[in-house]
Structure 1
Amino acid sequence: MQKIFIEKPYRFVRPLMSTWLPWLLNNRLIHSTMLRTTESIVAVKSRGVDRLEKSIKAGHGVVMIGNHPRVSDPVVIYDLIRQANSTMFAMASWHLFNQGWLNTAIIRTFGGYSVNREGLDRESINFSVSMLQKNERPILMFPEGATSRTNGSLMPFLDGPTFVARTASRRRHRQGLKTVIHPIVIRYEFVGDFATEFEKVITSIENELQISPSLDSNPAKRVQVSLDALVAKQERAFDRTGNPNHSPFQRRQHLADSVMEEAEVRWFGTRSEKNIANRIRDIRSRVFPELLENENLSAEERNLRWHDLERTYLAWQMASYPQDYLAGDASKDRILEISAKILEDLTDRPRKCGKQKVTIEVCEAIEVPPTKHPSGKPDPLIAKIQHQLENGLFGSRED
């Protein structure tokens, strides 16, 4: 499990409020050098910049909501922000502010501020709403909550970003002002030597899993064998037995659901019917704070709580492998994405998919209604955002 749980009391980290410093640092040369050296991204192309510019010039409060396939997404979007002649704020998980002072300084300089994913972070919410209400600058948020590591899929959304947008919209509406959401589509494309990169990754996977190299020359089938072996390994680790009559996707979903259900019954008395992202958030919010705040927990209960946090980590891993992603004539991008994802899940170390280029597309503005949404019911605002993102990701597009 990667170090996403920070074992010290949470404190809200504000961004640096300077606009000239991020503007100065976000020039094309510095930005492209940063992407190339740290993320192996050799080109970025932004489309629909005029849509974002129009909303900014109109004085709307602007929320940018993107799909989240890579950890590099916020850095990539600065190409769009530069072309829109703006700066931005970006909500980021608190664990990213605990990876050294330099990393924290860079995030804050570029407008990043923290959110506590393991609890209700009123400070982060209030800051977001306040900045939108004052129309300081656009705010970037990722409602999937964590990286999916796949271009061709969307994970279920958390409702935090739309809650922030609706709250700000109510306040701005009293002043006769609008709040809008621009869905932001982010797509990565591999541009290197596929055969060399694939062989490097798949060999590492097979070594980690201690399985013999597949004799099948079809890369997608070779990856599927490794993915099945990974699932079987995790089933054994969490005392689960896969149903031989289930498809590989059903086995992954069952594993994710069963480990979550066991934790939910323990802490809430019943299985949740929410989507996987909200189920994970609820368990972490219930289990983790006590580990920090209650010094009287027994060693047995502490171990139990950590084990349930590991269950949420496994559930996200399994649920974020899309169905039929490698079916048919799978693209080299999908093959490399899943390969890198498997290796990351085995080693807990992020793995880049070789040299890539990125396309960013700004979707049409969605006006945020100045009304509260009833709790427990599907939010039509989320549905609109998902629809535009799905059209951008899966619909026809120019290359």
Structure 2
Amino acid sequence: MRELPQDRPYRFRPPVDRPWLNPLLRWVNRSVFLKRFYHVSSVECHGIERLEEAMRSKDAVVLAPNHADHADVHVLSEVTARVGIRPRFMGAREIFEAGAINAFALQSGGVFSVDRDGADIAAIKMALSILEAGDYPLVIYPEGEIYHHHEWLDPLHDGLASILLKVARKLPDNRRAWIFPIAFRFEYDGSVRETFPERVAALEKTIGWTPKEDLPVVERLYRFGPALLAVKEMEYFGETGTGDLAERLERLRERLLADVEGRHGKDVRSTTVPERVRAQRFRIRKALLDPENRPDPATRHRLLDDIKRIHVAYQVYSYPGVYLAEDPDDHRIAETLMKLEEDLLGKATYPVARKATIVFGEPIDVTRMLGAGELPAKGGAPELTAVLEEKLGAMVRQGDPTGLSGADSPSIVRGDA
């Protein structure tokens, strides 16, 4: 989970159509990001014809993928471009703040910003206008973050459902509203196994260990995890915890959150960990950027330290503690290493070729559900989110390689990345 700047004023960035730039953007996406940076050598796509049908009808379409990997945005852009569709993406404000060139490219590629920690009215209005027009599908990642355990689905936010329902209730009779659950999977070339020892050694050195080269990789990771956790426990609270790994992770996360909430106040409406994190980031950012009461250097230092504590709590939340133990195959080992590299070294490693599979599942007909009374006349976002979570969760679970159990046979589009 990348740590991004938290003390910059927010400015909404809309998508900007620059058709003359599209061929270059697609070439960069395929040749630079997919092939060179993320090592995605091939892409297999199932079921995209359903999306083509909906777009021909100018329906209101939201694409709801699991957030499996930093490459999934680039894979989705590639497969939709192959059939002449250019989605609009809702992207976290922080990715636009990496520089002017980055922001220019994102906006030209159909991405618009959203401040996830506040009520971003401009982003909501943009999302509504895209769906009302029906010219582009809108991509919203309902998990909100990349947790690097893509065979599990994390709890979904209901903002996606809330936005689509606002539009669905006002559509004319000749148009429908759909949610397309989309499942990503990334599979590594078998040679990835040969990269494990050196990468684990680099991680072990970050905590001052001599690499345990005589032990199997999985055992080294089982030892490294609790050791790293002990470092964080000592850093923030001066003592190490007891119990199994999952219990210690939960205890550290709760102590960090409670510590910050004790200074800035707890939002009673925020109950899940992601909601609590966003609520605290909003409050701390507001204090950092208050133009009338600018914090002095000492106060600013404390506020930034609290932001850091919140980030660590969120990192801890993203490690369930049992993902690798459940099935320690090459793919989960590689995912775990990528996650640790990103958190400790600042950059994940993609050392060998990977195959990406993207599946467009059976779409959820929101118009039909409203007409049949399956969703309440007002509200309905929690109920619709639960339907999406059930369908998308089934798609990402291991054992259903296409994610289309019970659906008609999909089309398959294969090709080099």
Common fold by TM > 0.5: yes
User: Kindly tell me: are residues 272 and 61 of structure 1, through their superposed partners in 2, closer, same or farther at Cα, counting changes over 3 Å?
Assistant: closer
Deviation at 1:242, TM superposition (A): 4.2
* Partner secondary structure for residue 85 of structure 2: coil
* Partner secondary structure for residue 358 of structure 2: strand
Answering whether residue 258 of structure 2 is matched by residue 261 of structure 1, we say yes
For residues 62-112 of structure 1, give each alpha carbon's deviation from its aligned partner in whole angstroms, at most 9, with x where no partner exists. 101111122222111113212432111011112211222322222112101
* Partner secondary structure for residue 333 of structure 1: helix
Aligned amino acid, residue 137 of structure 1: Y
Q: 342, 354, 362: which is aligned to 1:344?
A: 342
The match for 2:282 is 285
* Partner secondary structure for residue 89 of structure 2: strand
* Partner secondary structure for residue 136 of structure 1: coil
**Range with greater deviation from structure 2 (317-326 or 297-306):** 297-306
User: Kindly tell me: are residues 393 and 240 of structure 1, through their superposed partners in 2, closer, same or farther at Cα, counting changes over 3 Å?
Assistant: farther
User: Kindly tell me: are residues 271 and 250 of structure 1, through their superposed partners in 2, closer, same or farther at Cα, counting changes over 3 Å?
Assistant: farther
Deviation at 1:44, TM superposition (A): 1.2
The match for 2:15 is 15
Using the alignment, how far apart are the partners of 1:353 and 1:257 within structure 2?
Answer: 35
CA contact (8 A) 2:2 2:342 kept: no
Deviation at 1:153, TM superposition (A): 2.1
TM-score scaled by length of structure 1: 0.90
The match for 2:232 is 234
For residues 214-233 of structure 1, give each alpha carbon's deviation from its aligned partner in whole angstroms, at most 9, with x where no partner exists. 36633222112111111111
Give the fraction of aligned pairs with identical amino acids, expressed as a percent.
Answer: 25
The match for 2:379 is 373
Using the alignment, how far apart are the partners of 2:229 and 2:116 within structure 1?
Answer: 26
The match for 2:358 is 360
Unpaired segments ≥5 residues, structure 2? 371-376, 403-417
The match for 1:5 is 5
**Range with greater deviation from structure 2 (87-96 or 155-164):** 155-164
User: Kindly tell me: are residues 8 and 26 of structure 1, through their superposed partners in 2, closer, same or farther at Cα, counting changes over 3 Å?
Assistant: closer
Using the alignment, how far apart are the partners of 2:319 and 2:173 within structure 1?
Answer: 45
Deviation at 1:303, TM superposition (A): 2.4
* Partner secondary structure for residue 15 of structure 2: coil
Deviation at 1:202, TM superposition (A): 0.3
CA contact (8 A) 1:205 1:343 kept: yes
CA contact (8 A) 1:201 1:340 kept: no
CA contact (8 A) 2:197 2:213 kept: no
**Range with greater deviation from structure 2 (153-162 or 35-44):** 153-162
Aligned amino acid, residue 37 of structure 1: R
Deviation at 1:192, TM superposition (A): 5.0
CA contact (8 A) 1:143 1:159 kept: yes
The match for 1:107 is 106
**Structure 1 segments of 4+ aligned residues over 4 angstroms from their partners:** 18-21, 269-273
Using the alignment, how far apart are the partners of 1:147 and 1:372 within structure 2?
Answer: 31
Aligned amino acid, residue 288 of structure 2: L
How is 1:87-126 mapped onto 2 (pairs within 5 angstroms)? 87-126=86-125
The match for 1:385 is 388
* Partner secondary structure for residue 44 of structure 1: strand
Aligned amino acid, residue 205 of structure 1: L
* Partner secondary structure for residue 169 of structure 2: helix
CA contact (8 A) 1:189 1:357 kept: yes
The match for 2:161 is 162
CA contact (8 A) 1:336 1:353 kept: no
Using the alignment, how far apart are the partners of 1:13 and 1:310 within structure 2?
Answer: 26
Aligned amino acid, residue 383 of structure 1: A
User: Kindly tell me: are residues 3 and 194 of structure 1, through their superposed partners in 2, closer, same or farther at Cα, counting changes over 3 Å?
Assistant: closer
Deviation at 1:185, TM superposition (A): 0.6
CA contact (8 A) 2:256 2:309 kept: yes
* Partner secondary structure for residue 77 of structure 1: helix
TM-score scaled by length of structure 2: 0.86
Using the alignment, how far apart are the partners of 1:329 and 1:398 within structure 2?
Answer: 16
The match for 1:84 is 83
The match for 2:407 is none
The match for 2:410 is none
Q: How many residues align?
A: 392
* Partner secondary structure for residue 303 of structure 1: helix
User: Kindly tell me: are residues 366 and 8 of structure 1, through their superposed partners in 2, closer, same or farther at Cα, counting changes over 3 Å?
Assistant: same
**Range with greater deviation from structure 2 (338-347 or 59-68):** 338-347
User: Kindly tell me: are residues 14 and 312 of structure 1, through their superposed partners in 2, closer, same or farther at Cα, counting changes over 3 Å?
Assistant: same
